[in-house]
Amino acid sequence: MKPVPKELVARLAEMAPPGSEIIPLDWAYDGEDFNLAVFVDDKEERRALEDRFLDAVIDYDETHETFTICMVWPKRAEARAGVR
């Protein structure tokens, strides 16, 4: 699997609220090119963020002919998500 493009991570970082962590994962499911986990403070509206991130990811994927998964999690779920 190719590493998640820095351009995509930077685009999401610009949109993320302060204190968020964007973690490019080094694995993806079959048929995916990239996989990202975004961890936000519990008080953030995760659903609204998912919608904004989804728009950015879709734009990136259409431009680069890739398929990316981006999941938004509360920070307290970070350990359960298996990224640390």
Query: pLDDT tens across 2-20, in order?
Result: 889 999 999 999 999 888 9
Strand-pairing partners, residue 68, are: 34
Does pLDDT of 23 surpass 90? yes
Residue spans of the domains in the chain: they are: 6-79
34: Cβ contacts below 8 Å, ≥ 6 apart: 1, 2, 4, 5, 8, 24, 28, 66, 67, 68, 69
Say if CB 65 and CB 33 are below 8 A apart. Answer: no
Full-model pTM:
0.81
Q: Provide the β-strand partners of residue 36.
A: 24, 70
For residue range 47-68, list pLDDT tens digits in order.
Answer: 888 888 999 999 999 999 999 9
Choose the CATH number for 6-79 among 3.30.300, 3.30.70, 2.60.40, 1.10.1060: 3.30.300
